[in-house]
C-alpha cells in the first residue's frame, strides 16, 4: 500500500513537471526569439524534448499504479529515447552554429525580463522536483524516476546558465555572454543526448 501511495505521489510530481515544462518551453521560446537570445531559445527547445521522457514516465507510473505490465511501455520508452537522442543532437548542432553566428556579430541579444523570470522560477522549481523525484525513485526502486530526477538537475543548470546570460546583458550589456552560455547549454544537451542514446540501446 505504501509503494502504491509513493507511485501516486510520483505520478503527481510528473504531472507538475509536464505542466511547468509546457509553460517554460512556450515562454522561453517566445522570449528567446524576441530577445534574439540563442541561450534562451535553446533552453526552451530542450524543454520541448524533455516532454518526451516525461510523457513516457507518466505512462510507466500509471501502469504501476494500476498494477499493469510495463513491457509495452518499456518498448515505447526505447523508441522515445532514440528520438530524443536524435533531436538533442540536432539541437546541439543548432546551438553551436547559432552561437558562432552571434559571436561574429551577426546577432545581438536584447534584455528579456520575461526570460529572467522564467529562468529564475525554473531553477527553484526544478531543484525541488529533482530532490523529490530522487527520494521517491530510491524508495520505489525506480531507475527511470531517478534518471528523470537527474534530468531535472540538468534543466536547473540550463536555466541558471540562461539566467546568468540574461542578467549580464540586462545589467552590463555584455552581449557576448549569450553565445558563451549557448555553448555551455550545448554541452549539457550533448550529455543528455548521449544518455538518451545509451538508454535506447539498453537491453
State which residues form the domain around 11. Answer: 2-200
More confident residue, 120 or 196: 120
pLDDT tens profile 108-138? 778 899 999 999 999 999 999 999 999 998 8
10 Å CB burial of residue 81 (0-12, 13-18, 19+) is buried
% the chain with pLDDT above 90:
40
Residues in the chain: 203
Average pLDDT for 39-62: 85
Residue 203 has pLDDT above 70, yes or no: no
Residue 134: all three cell numbers together: 530522487
Q: According to the per-residue pLDDT averaged within each range, which of 14-28, 141-155, 184-198 is highest? A: 14-28
Instruction: Identify the DSSP state of 107.
Output: -
How many CA within 13 A on the CB side of residue 125? 18
Residue 64 has pLDDT above 80, yes or no: no
pLDDT, residue 118, reads 96
pLDDT, residue 175, reads 84
pLDDT, residue 76, reads 67
Task: Report the distance separating Cα 186 and Cα 49, nearest Å.
Answer: 14
pLDDT tens profile 148-165? 888 888 889 989 999 999
Task: Report the distance separating Cα 168 and Cα 17, nearest Å.
Answer: 28
The domain tally of the chain equals 1
What's the pLDDT band for 54 if we cut at 50, 70, 90? confident
Which residue's C-alpha cell is 524534448?
49
pLDDT, residue 199, reads 76
Which CATH number covers residue 79? 1.20.1510
Average pLDDT for 54-58: 83
Task: Report the distance separating Cα 109 and Cα 169, nearest Å.
Answer: 8
10 Å CB burial of residue 84 (0-12, 13-18, 19+) is buried
What pTM did the predictor assign?
0.85
Cite the DSSP H helix spans in 67-176.
71-103, 113-140, 143-172
Mean of the per-residue pLDDT values of the chain: 86
Residues 6+ apart with CB under 8 A from 66: none
Amino acid at each position: 500500500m505504501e509503494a502504491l501511495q509513493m507511485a501516486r505521489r510520483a505520478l503527481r510530481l510528473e504531472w507538475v513537471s509536464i505542466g511547468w515544462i509546457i509553460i517554460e518551453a512556450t515562454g522561453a521560446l517566445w522570449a528567446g526569439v524576441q530577445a534574439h537570445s540563442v541561450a534562451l531559445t535553446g533552453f526552451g527547445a530542450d524543454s520541448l524534448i524533455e516532454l518526451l521522457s516525461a510523457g513516457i514516465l507518466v505512462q510507466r507510473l500509471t501502469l504501476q499504479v494500476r498494477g499493469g505490465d510495463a513491457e509495452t511501455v518499456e518498448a515505447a520508452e526505447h523508441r522515445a529515447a532514440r528520438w530524443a537522442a536524435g533531436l538533442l543532437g540536432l539541437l546541439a548542432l543548432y546551438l553551436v552554429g547559432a552561437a558562432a553566428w552571434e559571436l561574429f556579430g551577426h546577432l545581438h541579444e536584447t534584455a528579456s525580463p520575461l526570460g529572467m523570470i522564467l529562468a529564475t522560477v525554473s531553477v527553484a522549481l526544478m531543484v525541488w522536483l529533482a530532490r523529490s523525484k530522487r527520494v521517491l525513485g530510491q524508495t520505489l526502486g525506480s531507475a527511470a524516476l531517478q534518471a528523470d530526477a537527474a534530468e531535472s538537475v540538468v534543466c536547473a543548470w540550463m536555466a541558471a546558465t540562461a539566467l546568468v546570460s540574461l542578467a549580464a546583458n540586462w545589467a552590463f550589456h555584455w552581449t557576448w555572454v549569450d553565445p558563451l552560455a549557448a555553448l555551455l547549454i550545448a554541452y549539457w544537451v550533448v550529455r543528455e543526448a548521449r544518455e538518451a542514446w545509451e538508454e535506447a540501446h539498453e537491453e
